[in-house]
Amino acid sequence: MVGIALTYTTLGIDALQVTVECDRDGNMQQIVNIVGMPSNAVKESKDRVFAALRNSQLSYATSRYTINLAPADIKKDSSSLDLPIAVSILMNNHGVPPNGLKQIAIIGELSLDGNVRAVDGVLPIAIAAKRDGIDILIVPHENAEEAAIIDDLIVIPVTSLWETAQYLRGEATIPPAKVDRDKIFSVLNEFPLDMHDVKGQYQVKRTLEVAAAGGHNLLMIGPPGSGKTMLARRVPTILPELTLDEALEATKIHSVAGFSKDFKNGILTTRPFRSPHHTISDVALIGGGAFPKPGEVSLSHRGVLFLDELPEFKRAVLEVLRQPLEDGVVTIARATTSLTFPAEFMLIASMNPCPCGYFGANIPNHTCSCDSGAIVRYRNRISGPLLDRIDIHVEVPTVAYADLAALPSGDTSATIRARVNKAREIQHRRFEGQGIYNNSQMNSKMLRKYCVLNDQSHALMQNAIDKMGYSARVFDRILKVARTIADLEGQEKIHSDHISEAIQYRTLDRKYWN
């Protein structure tokens, strides 16, 4: 008799159904072979599985076992196969009735004493199980809430191999895991930070509002202590609320990457904010590995990627940002497979104006000590093509004492978010059915259709292009930002004042890079 159990393994950020088949030939010597392109972690599962069976007082015959993982032409790399392998062995030894496993999928890692441990990638597995018509998904107890987010799927949480066997035999009743989605989303998008806490910096806060309204990338330039990091950390508080579909999409990526333990109620409840250190490698930023995993750009999907001290990042690391910034996806190619990870994020970057940080700051006792060559080399660490892909550049000055001594003032994050939401609703209606969601994603054809300029606006643009020497890409960026400014004001057409404000967000090109 062949014991058969259904399970899943992750492939990129999606899940693939795997059939575990167990056969034994009556040999009196204990030999176990696992076939079907298992990774080393899966090959080692045989030692964990038989120790768990023995320590759970579950009987099995001493024999030669062959365990096949189908389909056999795809690599499997997950300790979540431990539990289904153990169940297939039990079925082969008549410890579990074969009819009890129809339309049931099982995942879980086993400890040597038979306890079931949490695994990564449960949400994409639950989504795939529902897609494949699976009725019941047996998961580790710690992963139950994450899987139970998916409707119309019975999620059975288990703590041990013994409990799993008892359930499959019909000798134990385990209540399905339940989550209150309404309760979860009642606290969705709650933040401990607020834009109202930032003193002064009114112009910068206006710029962040424009960036949030259109999904534009932004670079902040200013001396140390001017509040660049503090402002960046508050950007998610003014972005549109995370929808259920977006929350599931982002949670899938974090689940596969191994951040399941960070979830509250089994799902991400706020937009991701990732801030990698400047020593990060290009693989860690973009994703990859022998079994490709998402990098920081994908973990920032539907949220914010904040690169503090941008020139301190390695040049090669920054250059790999070009594809995700342009296409919203990352493609990882390997000899045996090619995987695509989503990477639609808002890039917020910050930098000092020079290596010491005080060039042009006019701060007493902090005079810039950098020579012109050092300043040029510092700024040239950021390539022109990368700068062109950043829509908005804004200078962040030192906060005056009057602002520091005053009480917090200005709009709250909730007030700013309301204006951002209104502008985003205009964009959703404008781009309905076109596959994009905000102004920053417009292509050339859309720019011609939705960014028609009057004569005065044309004159402003011509003057800026002739004097500043902007590239065609920068010209398009200015149009996109102007479109967003008009949307914030509820204007159907772009006027000269919108163009003028958008051009101001590129004037640092001349100040810092010419």
- List pLDDT tens digits, range 439-472: 999 998 999 999 999 989 888 888 888 777 777 7
Report residue 346: phi and psi, to 5°: -100, 120
Q: What's the mean per-residue pLDDT of the chain? A: 89
In a shared domain, residues 207 and 164: no
Report residue 150: phi and psi, to 5°: -80, 125
Find out whether 120 and 10 touch, Cβ atoms under 8 Å: yes
In a shared domain, residues 335 and 295: yes
Neighbours of 205 (CB within 10 A): 18
Rounded-to-integer distance, Cα 462 and Cα 465, Å: 5
Find out whether 108 and 116 touch, Cβ atoms under 8 Å: yes
In a shared domain, residues 116 and 206: no
DSSP letter (8 states) at residue 308? S
Tokens describing residue 395: 């200078």
Lowest mean pLDDT among 2-11, 52-61, 112-121, 185-194: 185-194
Among candidate residues 174, 169, 158, 69, the one with its CA nearest the CA of residue 110: 158
* CATH code, domain carrying 358: 3.40.50.300
- Asked whether residue 432 carries a pLDDT value surpassing 80, the answer given is yes
Rounded-to-integer distance, Cα 275 and Cα 282, Å: 14
Assess whether the previous peptide bond of 240 is cis (omega < 30° from 0).
Answer: no
In a shared domain, residues 258 and 338: yes
Q: Is 7 helix (H, G, I), strand (E, B) or coil?
A: strand
> What's the pLDDT at 182?
72
The contacts of residue 356 (CB under 8 Å, 6+ apart) are 368, 369, 370
What are the distances in angstroms from CA 15 to CA 56, 284, 293? Answer: 29, 22, 13
> What's the pLDDT at 295?
94
Q: Is 233 helix (H, G, I), strand (E, B) or coil?
A: helix
Q: Is residue 23 part of a domain?
A: yes
Q: Is residue 466 part of a domain?
A: no
DSSP letter (8 states) at residue 366? B
> What's the pLDDT at 294?
93
* CATH code, domain carrying 19: 3.30.230.10
> What's the pLDDT at 101?
74
Q: Is residue 131 part of a domain?
A: yes
Domain stop point among 169, 193, 217: 169
Lowest mean pLDDT among 13-17, 39-43, 257-261: 257-261
Q: How far apart are the first and last CA of the chain?
A: 76
The stretches of 114-201 forming alpha helices (DSSP H) are 122-131, 144-148, 161-169, 181-186
In a shared domain, residues 235 and 358: yes
Report residue 203: phi and psi, to 5°: -65, -40
In a shared domain, residues 213 and 323: yes
In a shared domain, residues 28 and 157: yes
In a shared domain, residues 118 and 228: no
Rounded-to-integer distance, Cα 115 and Cα 83, Å: 10
> What's the pLDDT at 26?
76
Rounded-to-integer distance, Cα 4 and Cα 158, Å: 20
Q: Is residue 106 part of a domain?
A: yes
pTM recorded for the entire structure: 0.89
Q: Is residue 28 part of a domain?
A: yes
Domain stop point among 409, 439, 466: 409
Q: 514 pLDDT band (50/70/90 cuts)? A: low
Give the H or E element holding residue 87. Answer: helix 82-92
Neighbours of 147 (CB within 10 A): 28
Tokens describing residue 222: 């200013």
In a shared domain, residues 58 and 157: yes
Among candidate residues 109, 413, 428, the one with its CA nearest the CA of residue 237: 413
pLDDT in tens, 307-344: 999 999 999 999 999 889 988 999 888 766 788 899 99
Exposed / middle / buried, residue 21 (Cβ in 10 Å: 0-12, 13-18, 19+): middle
Q: Is residue 271 part of a domain?
A: yes
Tokens describing residue 418: 């309301």
Domain stop point among 409, 437, 467: 409
Q: Is residue 83 part of a domain?
A: yes
> What's the pLDDT at 140?
96
Neighbours of 410 (CB within 10 A): 16
In a shared domain, residues 242 and 137: no
Tokens describing residue 314: 């390695």
- Asked whether residue 137 carries a pLDDT value surpassing 80, the answer given is yes
In a shared domain, residues 244 and 388: yes
Domain hosting residue 393, numbered range? 201-409
> What's the pLDDT at 350?
95
Q: 290 pLDDT band (50/70/90 cuts)? A: confident
Q: Is residue 226 part of a domain?
A: yes
pLDDT in tens, 361-398: 777 777 888 898 888 889 888 888 888 889 999 999 88
In a shared domain, residues 215 and 160: no
Overall number of domains in the chain: 2
pLDDT in tens, 31-87: 899 999 888 888 889 999 999 999 999 988 888 999 999 998 888 888 899 999 999
The contacts of residue 109 (CB under 8 Å, 6+ apart) are 48, 79, 80, 82, 83, 116, 117, 118, 119, 140
